[in-house]
Amino acid sequence: MRLHEPTFSHEEVFAATQQMLSTYVTMGKQVRTFEEQYAEKFGHKYAVTNNSGSSANLLAVSLLSNPKTENHLKPGDEVIVPALSWSTTVWPIIQHGLVPVFVDCDPKTFNMTAKHIEEAITPKTRAIKLVHVYGNPCDMEEIMAVAKKHNLFVIEDSCESMGAKFKNQYVGSFGDIGTLSFFFSHHITTLEGGICTTNSFEMAENLRILRAHGWSREADEKQKYIDMYPDIDPRFIFVNLGYNLRITEVQAVIGQQQLVKFDSIVSKRRENVDTYKKLLSEYEDIFDFQHATRESEPTWFGCNFILKENVNFGLKDITSFIQSNKIETRPIIAGNMAKHPALTMFQHKLVGDMTNANRIMARGFSLGCHQAVTEAGCEYVANVIKTFIKNNYVSAHKNTAETVA
């Protein structure tokens, strides 16, 4: 069983083919339509597509570091980020001369908390870049209270958590900017792709400008730049720095079709995680599972297992056995990003001992819960795990009983 299966079918293939045959393939009307549809569905005022979730993270940090943003981030400023995260959650911080400050996560929800953030705040702290881990929302009520108290920017890395809600509000709509991914393995796909969400018109305008070379032609208020610079060809007025992070019209029409399928895809993911937990509920002495945040509606990205400390086998033992039975596994995100060798080359800070992030890295694994996993598939996976446990697990209670006997 694969970790991921395609969410696209003949509808997307037909839409993509039709768009290609039209010969209008570079970013245009279909991209804007997709952005508007996405924003409407998930409760955002504005959405700006780009070519990956990693690019969305890059654009978000670039915008908050840009002179067009009031009180923008400057080199040397500190950004609090969870240790349990992904590389391109962190790299844009470093790439802009900022200092990532790593904090630990909650052992049950796997998310950074307001308490972790408060402990990491210094006079140099300017922003929080949180991650909603594996479809599970952070406690945004508490985090936003801390952000407001200390006047901090908030970026929500929601790449694993599209459509998740905290207190009936979608992730990516609490902070200044949300970032999401349309990679093949995520909830819905444009094959490659990402999107930034914001409730600020100015931020949306500048995201569009930064996304495409720094020129003004994609801005809603592009006429003001034409009026300001009448001696420059209106098609090529560069008003800021920029990248080329655009998606295509072909990807946009695929995305439009995917939005229609989103609710059923997420429903199946939730159902599969519930099924795994039910089938393996007898092994509470062996596994810890990820717990949903209070008053949240997760959109699970995978089903996560953490081996308890008392088990007599290791992570590689069980994952190797599972994989030998044609079931793919993977680590939970990248584990503790601060332990990866790349960080030795760049300035960063650690606050706390990262006990929980280290435990998840050393003892955690994830299984697929996507829409193509059937009930029979869940049962097969559970039976493989049960077989391994039957053949390998010796409980501490059993050892004690044998010693007494």
Going along 206-316, which residue ranges are E strands? Answer: 287-289, 296-297, 303-307
pLDDT bracket for residue 403 (50, 70, 90):
very low
| Phi, psi values for residue 34, rounded to 5° | -60, -45
Tell me if residue 277 falls in helix, strand or coil.
helix
Please check the confidence at residue 142 and state whether its pLDDT lies above 70. Answer: yes
Q: Give the model's pLDDT for residue 394.
A: 87
Mean pLDDT, residues 355-365:
99
Instruction: Kindly report, residue by residue over 189-201, the tens digit of the pLDDT.
Output: 999 999 999 999 9
Average predicted confidence (pLDDT) for the chain: 97
Mean pLDDT, residues 17-36:
98
Correct CATH for 10-258 of 3.30.750.24, 3.40.50.2020, 3.40.640.10, 3.40.1500.10: 3.40.640.10
Tell me if residue 363 falls in helix, strand or coil.
helix
Between helices 87-95 and 53-64, what is the axis angle to 10°? 30
Residues noted as catalytic? 186
The single-letter code of the amino acid at 86 is W
Q: Is the pTM of this model over 0.85?
A: yes
Round to whole Å and give the CA distance between 226 and 244. Answer: 22
Per residue in 88-116, is it b (16+ CB within 10 Å) or e — as a string? bbbbbbbebebbbbbbbbbeebbbbbbeb
Please check the confidence at residue 400 and state whether its pLDDT lies above 80. Answer: no
CATH 3.40.640.10 region(s) of the chain?
10-258
Tell me if residue 385 falls in helix, strand or coil.
helix
pLDDT bracket for residue 401 (50, 70, 90):
very low
CATH 3.90.1150.10 region(s) of the chain?
262-404
pLDDT bracket for residue 155 (50, 70, 90):
very high
Please check the confidence at residue 404 and state whether its pLDDT lies above 50. Answer: no
Evaluated on CA atoms 212, 217, 220, 226, the torsion sign reads positive
Mean pLDDT, residues 390-401:
70
Tokens encoding 207: 């995201």
Cβ(129)–Cβ(110) below 8 Å = no
Instruction: Kindly report, residue by residue over 302-331, the tens digit of the pLDDT.
Output: 999 999 999 999 999 999 999 999 999 999
Instruction: Kindly report, residue by residue over 35-89, the tens digit of the pLDDT.
Output: 999 999 999 999 999 999 999 999 999 999 999 999 999 999 999 999 999 999 9
Mean pLDDT, residues 286-310:
98
Cβ(99)–Cβ(93) below 8 Å = yes
CATH topology of domain 262-404: Aspartate Aminotransferase, domain 1 (3.90.1150)
The single-letter code of the amino acid at 34 is F
Tell me if residue 402 falls in helix, strand or coil.
helix
